[in-house]
Amino acid sequence: MKTKILVVDDEASIVQVLLDLLTDEGYETQSASSGEEALRMISSFQPDIILLDIWMPGSLDGLDVLKEIKSKLNLSEVIMMSGHGTIETAVQATKVGAWGFLEKPLVFDKLHILIKQILIIQKERKEKNFLLSRLREDISLIGSSDFIKNCKKNILNWSKASAPVLICGEASVGKKILAKNIHYMGERSPYDFVSYFCANSAQSLQIEELFGRQKSFRFPQEPAKRSQLSYTHKGSLFLRNIEFLNLDAQKLLCSFIKSSEYQSVGSDKKYNSDVHIIASTSADLKKMADNGTFLKDLYSQFAEVINVPSLSSRKQDLQDLILYFLSYFSKKESCELKSLDKDAMDFLLSEKWQFHAKELKNFIEKIYIFYKKQNLNIADIKKIL
């Protein structure tokens, strides 16, 4: 697909020269002679790049058009042009969102460089958006229970908030998937989602791992350690099983949440980091806070507490997940979609077998490994349980 470029200028001779040049370069081109016409054409032509003159007749000049484009989250990049521009005008255009500023008479080599820069960035952006959309499919919340509906309804609000979020529920109930949704459905999605498993880390090392360690003159053989908070700047830090975080680390985390500042071990310098804290727990944190085994001040920082019910109590979600994983492994293995008869499905939904999400996924994968046939009954299911 050709790159589309819209030329907006009231000087017909300049427009024609640019159209000829850009068409020869292999671009698809259109032109407009006023701000009003440009805005109409942007909707229909949907250009990748706009060459926009600042000074034009009519009620809208180039800066007005630029502001309108950027206010509507248009993905077009804009190069401003002017025959008598000033530094002040160029700065103003850049602040509004222009990619670059060219003075007339145009130097075509400079224009060519700007266009190539834009195309590189747009290609990277498209690839990133594609990967992000695939990722969002992989972490989509499956189910039709009231709980899942409520999550889908509120996920954008949870992702917009800068205040910490706590996700509670038994093991393998989907807390990490929910945390990823909060991150990847929000404005922080272009940045890192870092998962730190508190239960897997020695308590003596938790402060160093979360907040970093400066290189010591006393122990030069020990290298400096970069903090998880610096890795996660502008992104989200997911603290899995936060109940295993030691009290000293909890105090430092609480201080960071309040100020967005922290100090590394062995350093007097304060660092800033913009991080959305999302935590999970399988424990009763309120009870732990009340009896002093979890910092009450830290617990109070969680503006949103989400309680995830067990999968066994969400029968509709369990059935939806079974159907989802059957489809998932059919695509993954490039084979026919397998199905379960009513007795087999009812058996899996019964109290005799209570799945966690991970166990369910592994079980459905076994179905595709052990059976070539398409339709399975209850006897087939019981053989591989």
> How many domains does the structure of the chain reveal?
3
Domain span holding position 321: 312-383
What's the CATH number where 191 sits?
3.40.50.300
pLDDT band at 223 (very low <50, low <70, confident <90, very high): confident
Which residue, of 252, 286, 309, is where some domain finishes?
Answer: 309
pLDDT band at 71 (very low <50, low <70, confident <90, very high): confident
Residues 58-69: what's their mean pLDDT?
Answer: 89
pLDDT at residue 272 in the model: 92
Is 218's pLDDT higher than 60? no
Does residue 104 sit in the same domain as residue 11? yes
Convert the pLDDT of each residue in 165-197 to its tens digit: 999 999 888 899 999 999 988 889 888 999 999
H helical segments located in the chain: 12-24, 35-45, 62-71, 87-96, 108-138, 146-160, 175-184, 206-211, 228-231, 247-259, 285-291, 296-299, 315-333, 342-349, 357-370, 378-383
Does residue 154 sit in the same domain as residue 269? yes
Does residue 186 sit in the same domain as residue 199? yes
Residue 292 sits at the vertex; the CA angle it makes with 164 and 158, to the nearest 5 degrees, is 10
Does residue 104 sit in the same domain as residue 182? no
Is 117's pLDDT higher than 90? yes
pLDDT band at 210 (very low <50, low <70, confident <90, very high): very high
Which residue, of 108, 133, 158, is where some domain finishes?
Answer: 133
Does residue 279 sit in the same domain as residue 320? no
Residue bearing the bigger pLDDT, 280 or 69: 280
